[in-house]
Chain A
Amino acid sequence: MSEQQDPELEEESEQKGFDPQLVLADERYAVIGSILCEVYEPGDHKWVLSDMLDRVLLHKYLGLPIFIVTMWAMFHFTFEISLVFMEMITQFFAWVGSYSSQIPIPWFASLLTNGVLSGVGFILTFVPPIFFLYLAISVLEDTGYLSRAAFVMDRFMMKMGLHGRSFIPLLLGFGCSVAAVMAARTVDGESNRLTTVLVSPLMSCAGRLPVYILIAGVFFPQIAGTIVFFMYILGIVMAIVVSLIFKKTLFREESSSLLMELSQYQIPTVHGSFRHMWDRGLMFLKTAGSYLLVGSIVMWFLSSFGLGGYGIPVDESFASILGKLFEPIFTPLGFTWQIVTALIFGFIAKEAVIQTLAIIYAVGGTATLAAALTASISPVSAFAMMVFVLLYVPCLATVGAIRKETGSWKWTAFSIIYQLILAYSVALCVIFIGGFFIV
């Protein structure tokens, strides 16, 4: 069967008001069905069960709530289960730090304890939630539910005049924004593809997870899992809202139908799921062991040195000078210079936000990052910070991917600028509205 659309069929479809793609798909499946009738004998129990589950999981009204339950379960699992393992890693690095701080050369002791261990060591405490998140995504993928999620969301997105297929790259954005941007090339239509490329970074990637876990755990300990879940939902909502705005203003291309093959549901294998988790999680470990290590040394240098040389108070360090330069812009959000500096370094990678905060406060002599944060910002500012981290540029690698996929510096610059404006505006809304609810 030819992939080209039959002009007669297209004309007939237009006259009758049908979607040509749907008509073509119907014709195609009619042929497949007639062949199957001759060569295939139905009645396999596995298919029956899969078919049966789809009746409910793809239900017109229940599909979306069930998707929300699944999402909540995924993030609750990621957050709650990993807490005890995170504490183990924290204790381990505290134990190592108690020895490294006793090294007789002060600057070297500070570099190891406040730089490397507070930076890379602290970011490594987030290995358990990141691995658990990848495990949960792998299980959902292997069962076949994740493709159904795209199908469920398609109905919702189509109602808003958006392209349903865009949700598949967006789902990949839960793992990594670079993968999401690159997957946008599967979307039909230039403007649909561009819209997907531009909104993909709004989906919450694994690199942002440490920020949510830290802030939610410190400021909202009773509902921390729910807060993390909310941030991921907010990412989806913002991606849809921004797509809709782009669709109404920048790109006015007609949406096309989503046609996708839904495979049977499968019981995921332990080996397969853990293998996927390990392969993806390894990337995080490599990142921590390479440029986050270099970044922590650079950050320690900026926090320990200033115009007066080594050993000056952290308030006079280069990091402080950098943060204070942009601090006035973030004053309405209640962000201190330490947070502003962390957000600047977050342009490189989102993991660097937490890493930078840990190093600045460690060099400053604060006992724990949690204590330093509660002393410096209010819960509503902390929530605004999470929202800002969610919505501003994910990392340099994503910017590179956007440049490559759009082939335009103009769209790349537009992507960075709109995300910064969006992040700032929504964070400001959080401060205004949240002030009524959160003390």
Chain B
Amino acid sequence: MSRIYSDAIGVPDDGTWPSILALVVGLAYAAVGMVQVLVALGFIWPLIGFTDLVGGFLLIIVAAVFLTGVRPLSRDEQEGYAFIAVGYILAAVLFALQILVIITNAFGWLLQFEDWLTWNILNDITPSLWMFLILMTSTGALWVLGHLRERLQPAPKEVTKQ
């Protein structure tokens, strides 16, 4: 099934850099997820936004999706891009969900409902939120750098036959 998606989604032929990206993102999500689990279980000093145990496990699952894609990508198999795509989708779902939670909580706070009087936005800034922001920012930066590199490279000289 190698390279079946390459034409459709325009992925690079060399999977080295994408595999490094999947590895780094996967390890980052795994590390943050582990910290969240340990904080929630009380093994580490409390951190704001790290209190949800299940949230930590979910980040570890997202990490597992990215990390599973590392091997096929390093072997230059295009199937690995599917793992990156699904990893991004899962991370985006968790991010969007947290944004909706913040919006509705802010709504309750603005309406001065009793249960929202002590609401603090800092408690809703969870790792699933800022990890996705970091992920998208770094992906965007890599994309821009990639395009700049292509543009800055000298155009191949046309060889004309005399």
User: Chain A interface (Cβ within 8 Å of chain B)?
Assistant: 43, 45, 48-49, 51-53, 55-57, 59, 61-62, 65-66, 68-70, 72-73, 76-77, 80-81, 83-85, 87-88, 91, 222-223, 226, 229
Contacts and interface: CB of A to CB of B under 8 A. Distances in A.
Interface in B42-58: 51-54, 58
A61 B101 CA distance: 30
23 contacts: A43-B7, A43-B8, A49-B8, A51-B4, A52-B81, A53-B86, A55-B82, A56-B68, A56-B82, A61-B68, A62-B65, A66-B65, A69-B58, A69-B94, A70-B93, A77-B97, A80-B101, A84-B104, A84-B111, A85-B104, A87-B108, A87-B113, A222-B51
Q: Secondary structure at chain A's binding surface: helix, strand, loop or mixed?
A: helix
B62 A49 contact: no
Interface string B97-122: 10011001101100101011000000
A93 B97 CA distance: 29
Contacts of B58: 69, 72
B64 interface: yes
A80 B104 contact: yes
A65 B59 CA distance: 11
Nearest to B58: A69
Given A48-B5, A57-B86, A83-B108, 12 more contacts: A55-B79, A55-B82, A55-B83, A56-B68, A56-B86, A59-B68, A61-B68, A65-B64, A69-B62, A69-B94, A81-B100, A88-B111
Name B's interface SS. helix
A77 B52 CA distance: 15
A71 to B, nearest CB: 11
Contacts of A52: 5, 9, 79, 81-82, 85
A57 B61 CA distance: 12
B8 A45 contact: yes
A48 B86 CA distance: 14
A27 B51 CA distance: 54
B90 interface: yes
Contacts of B4: 48, 51
Contacts of B65: 56, 62, 66
B97 A69 contact: no
Given A52-B82, A73-B93, A226-B52, A83 B62 contact: no
A45 B83 CA distance: 18
Contacts of B107: 84
A68 B61 contact: yes
